[in-house]
Amino acid sequence: MIGRHQSTVTDYVQRGIFPNAYLADDIGNHQTFKVPKSDVLRYLNDPLHSLDSRIRQAAQAWLAVRTNDGQDSIGYLDLEDFEFEGTRLPLKSRQRGIWKPRQLKAALSISTTFRRPGEDRPYEDEVGPDGMLRYKWQGDDAEASDNRALRTAMHEGLPLIWFFGVAPGLFQPVFPVFLIDEEVESQQFIVDIDPQRVLLDSDAGPESPMEIAVIKRYGTRIARTRLHQRLFRSTVLHAYGTSCAICNLKHKVLLDAAHIIPDTEEDGVPTVVNGMAMCKIHHAAFDSKILGVRPDLIVEIRTDILAEVDGPMLRYGLQERHRQPLMSVPSKRAERPSRSLLEVAYARFREA
């Protein structure tokens, strides 16, 4: 019989997880739930309720709350705050890219190291011809413990968390991701970052193999685009100190990472030098050519807008920013806007 953790037990009884639980008098005539051993064993033997599964579910739920459902980056020290059933359990390793806590039988997370522009990563992860991302082995030994931990996760279809370094000590989490194959010759795993994979591979998915292939291909492309957008946003906002370049607004929920050259164009790569942190008003004004930024980082407002008479937002938010320098720029020169990209964008603004 189990009489501890009554709040959790009560919740499980209400959800029907322990169908044979019953109320009994405890010390002091307090009534508590008693759970038969058979119910507990049935629960623990269910793969969905295993310790491994519960840790993964709890970790991703915790991370979703801390990162606005994966939209925001998170610091390394924050990742050490996660606890499971009263025990601290860091979500990534300080030194290793592949992290398997001792409580788990397979890896929990993988990490990609942050490198400043121009620096090479020790392991260069890449996109394969199928459009899916690759994650390199740890070292050259296929039987190294870290690589076996990833292989176990792959064979059992376990969800992982992928931490992408966007600044020193700052990571953009992507979850859940799944390892779906291994390329031994290239010493790497194939990573599926599309959350629809579980549905498509289940009995509830579409029946036509062609339909499944199309959806998977489209879903992978969309998922990769969203990944790039998240990494771009985190990198740019960090470079600008979470401040709008135009007005210095610091409310993160009101900030975007604006592309200097749109990402639909060949030169519109998702790198920090092609981005500026802007509040949503100034981002929209920049994209619609109401506002321009000169290559010398001076703001200009379109002539017809300067002649308008309207409320305080027009006056203070736009007109009074005309011919004023950016209020926030990255402290590191390597992260500042590319002059050549600004020249192209400013020329288009002048033509509007």
Q: Which two tokens stand for residue 94?
A: 């300080």
283: which residues sit within 8 A by CB, 6+ positions away? 256, 258
DSSP structure string for 178-242: EEEEEEGGGTEEEEE--TTHHHHTSTTS-S-HHHHHHHHHHHHHHHHHHHHHHHHHHHHHHHTTS
Mark whether 36 and 123 lie in a shared domain. no
For 11-59, strand residue ranges (E) read 22-25, 31-34
Q: What angle do CA 94, 103, 33 make, to 5 degrees?
A: 130
Domain check: are 39 and 70 in the same one?
no
Answering whether pTM is above 0.85, one says no
* pLDDT confidence bin for 97, thresholds 50/70/90: very high
pLDDT at 303: 96
Instruction: Indicate if 342 and 253 belong to the same structural domain.
Output: yes
Q: Give domain status of residue 80, yes or no.
A: yes
**Is 211 within 8 Å of 192 (Cβ atoms)?**
no
pLDDT (0 to 100) of residue 115: 78
Residue 25 has φ and ψ, to the nearest 5°, of -75, 135
Asked if 24 and 65 sit in the same domain, the reply is no
Tens-digit pLDDT profile for residues 205-252: 444 444 434 444 444 455 556 677 888 898 899 999 999 999 999 999
Give CA–CA dist 348/35, Å, rounded: 70
194-218 pLDDT, tens digit per residue, is 655 444 444 444 444 444 344 444 4
Exposure string for 87-123, b = 16+ CB within 10 A, e = fewer: eebbbbbeeebbbbbeebebbbbbbbebeeeeeeeeb
Q: CA-based Rg of the chain, rounded to a whole angstrom?
A: 25
Which pLDDT band, with edges at 50, 70 and 90, does 47 fall under? low
297 lies in the same domain as 329: yes
Res 117: pLDDT: 64
- Structure token digits, residue 102: 């001792």
Whether residue 57 sits in one domain with residue 187: yes
Where among 194, 209, 230 does a domain terminate? Answer: 194
Map tokens 């192209």 to a residue: 344
CA contacts within 13 A on the Cβ side of 314 = 9
CATH number of domain containing 118: 2.30.280
- If asked whether residues 249 and 329 sit together in one domain, one would say yes
* Structural domain containing residue 290: 240-351
Do residue 180 and residue 133 come from a single domain?
A: yes
Dist CA 218 CA 319 (whole Å): 43
9-23, 61-75, 128-142, 321-335: which has the minimum mean pLDDT? Answer: 9-23
Beta bridge partners of 98: 110
pLDDT at position 13 is: 66
Question: Domain tally for the chain?
Answer: 3
Encode pLDDT of 131-168 as tens digits: 788 999 999 999 999 999 999 999 988 999 999 998 88
